[in-house]
């Protein structure tokens, strides 16, 4: 396994108490595989990714336990210097907001090129040539000319391609993309997703795709891990999950009516609100919103039950859910 997160806990000290953002997340991704991590905002999917990358703000964040195994080495036990080296060359992250992730006063050519001068000791001229190659590979038209442009001179979709080019530059083993297309319109979203999928395939990388939108990942993901209140509640191969979810929350996401928000993006809404991470409901954190909830759900935290060799569900009544008795 390329990356294995085991029983990860992350909490934040806030003025109103301790927020349990990640409560025992376990997931893994293999080389050449795409794992989609799906959840509403505040479900802990980004915080988990930041802990994997080693870019959490510590404090206020605190790793409460668990392991992040990268090719078998627990990253949480490494010194910051060692982590920085891995982060630079072997894992890369793509963020939702490329404009704030890029340096506004450097040309994109200099930003991509810097990776080669710093990490590979290349001359500026060679680094510039590599930058043009990469921009070509992510299909930025007229790359040889555009390499001299600044981030604000690119459209949102093209800026996201610049981010992808930077992530690919050092040929990492793992890319984590956190809502990489959320800020883009629907057609550009599809193009960027297709590009990521194609590059992942061509380079044999592992890809973790974080999203709140089931529709975006259906065609590109191999597996889906659904997060709720800082835990994985269901994990399954993408087609199995679509065919028959084994957790009422996943079923809710699939059944809920797509709505357009003010930017024309599709949102799927499950009735009720996600819980406050400072005061999670006892038992199954989903019980206040769950159509299948009964007494045991209010007291006993469901473990991640093995549904099959490739599937798991954190629901006491996953069998009923699989049978389609979750009631929408």
User: Does 284 help bind ligand SF4 (rule: CB under 6 A)?
Assistant: yes
Number of residues in the chain: 328
Separation CA 310–CA 234 (nearest Å) = 11
Number of residues that bind Mg ion (CB under 5 A): 1
Question: Would you put residue 40 in left (φ > 0), alpha (ψ -120 to 50) or beta?
Answer: beta
Bridge partners, 62 (sequence order) = 11
Pairing of strands 258-260, 266-268: antiparallel
**From residue 276, how far is each of 17, 25, 178, 304 by CA, in Å?**
11, 18, 22, 22
- For residue 208 the two structure tokens come to 């973790």
Q: Which of 162, 293, 307, 322 binds ligand SF4 (CB under 6 A)?
A: 293
Using CB distances below 5 to 8 A depending on partner kind, what does residue 46 bind out of ligand SF4, Mg ion, none? Mg ion
Q: Which of 140, 290, 312, 322 binds ligand SF4 (CB under 6 A)?
A: 290
Q: Which stretch binds ligand SF4 (CB under 6 A): 32-40, 70-78, 149-157, 312-320?
A: 312-320
User: Does 317 help bind ligand SF4 (rule: CB under 6 A)?
Assistant: yes
- For residue 165 the two structure tokens come to 């080019």
Q: Which of 109, 248, 275, 277 binds ligand SF4 (CB under 6 A)?
A: 248
CB 81 within 8 A of CB 120: no
Nearest residue to 90 (alpha-carbon basis) of 203, 222, 209: 203
What single DSSP character describes residue 273?
A: -
Least Å from the CB of residue 254 to ligand SF4? 14
Q: Which stretch binds ligand SF4 (CB under 6 A): 141-149, 204-212, 263-271, 292-300?
A: 292-300
User: Does 48 help bind Mg ion (rule: CB under 5 A)?
Assistant: no
Using CB distances below 5 to 8 A depending on partner kind, what does residue 290 bind out of Mg ion, ligand SF4, none? ligand SF4
Using CB distances below 5 to 8 A depending on partner kind, what does residue 293 bind out of ligand SF4, Mg ion, none? ligand SF4
CB 283 within 8 A of CB 300: yes
Q: Contact letters (x/-) for Mg ion, 80-119, by CB under 5 A? A: ----------------------------------------
User: Does 292 help bind ligand SF4 (rule: CB under 6 A)?
Assistant: yes
Separation CA 275–CA 289 (nearest Å) = 10
Q: Tell me which residues touch Mg ion (CB under 5 A).
A: 46
Q: Tell me which residues touch ligand SF4 (CB under 6 A).
A: 247-248, 284, 286-287, 290, 292-293, 297, 302, 315-317
């Amino acid at each position: 396994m390329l990356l294995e997160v085991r029983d990860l806990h992350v909490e934040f000290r806030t003025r109103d108490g301790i927020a349990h953002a990640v409560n025992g997340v376990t997931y893994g991704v293999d080389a050449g595989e795409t794992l989609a991590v799906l959840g509403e905002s505040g479900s802990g999917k980004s915080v988990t990714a930041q802990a994997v990358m080693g870019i959490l703000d510590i404090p206020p964040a605190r790793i409460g336990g668990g392991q992040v195994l990268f090719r078998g080495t627990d990253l949480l036990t490494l010194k910051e210097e060692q982590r920085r080296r891995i982060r630079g060359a072997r894992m890369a992250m793509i963020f939702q907001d490329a404009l704030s992730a890029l340096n506004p006063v450097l040309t994109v050519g200099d930003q991509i090129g810097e990776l080669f001068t710093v990490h590979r000791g290349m001359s500026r001229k060679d680094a510039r040539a590599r930058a043009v190659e990469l921009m070509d590979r992510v299909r930025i038209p007229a790359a040889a000319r555009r390499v001299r442009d600044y981030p604000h001179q690119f459209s949102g979709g093209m800026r996201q391609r610049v981010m992808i080019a930077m992530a690919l530059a050092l040929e990492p083993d793992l890319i984590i993309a956190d809502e990489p297309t959320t800020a883009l319109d629907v057609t550009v979203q599809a193009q960027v997703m297709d590009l990521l999928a194609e590059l992942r395939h061509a380079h044999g990388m592992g890809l973790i795709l974080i999203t709140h939108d089931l529709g975006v990942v259906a065609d590109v993901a191999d597996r889906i891990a659904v997060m709720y209140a800082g835990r994985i509640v269901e994990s399954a191969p993408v087609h199995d999950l679509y065919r028959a979810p084994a957790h009422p929350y996943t079923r809710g996401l699939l059944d809920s009516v797509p709505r357009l928000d003010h930017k024309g993006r599709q949102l799927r809404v499950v009735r009720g609100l996600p819980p406050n991470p400072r005061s999670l409901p006892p038992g199954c954190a989903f019980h206040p919103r769950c159509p299948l909830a009964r007494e045991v759900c209010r007291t006993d935290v469901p473990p991640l039950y093995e549904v099959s060799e490739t599937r798991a569900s954190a629901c006491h009544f996953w069998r009923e859910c699989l049978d389609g008795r979750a009631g929408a």
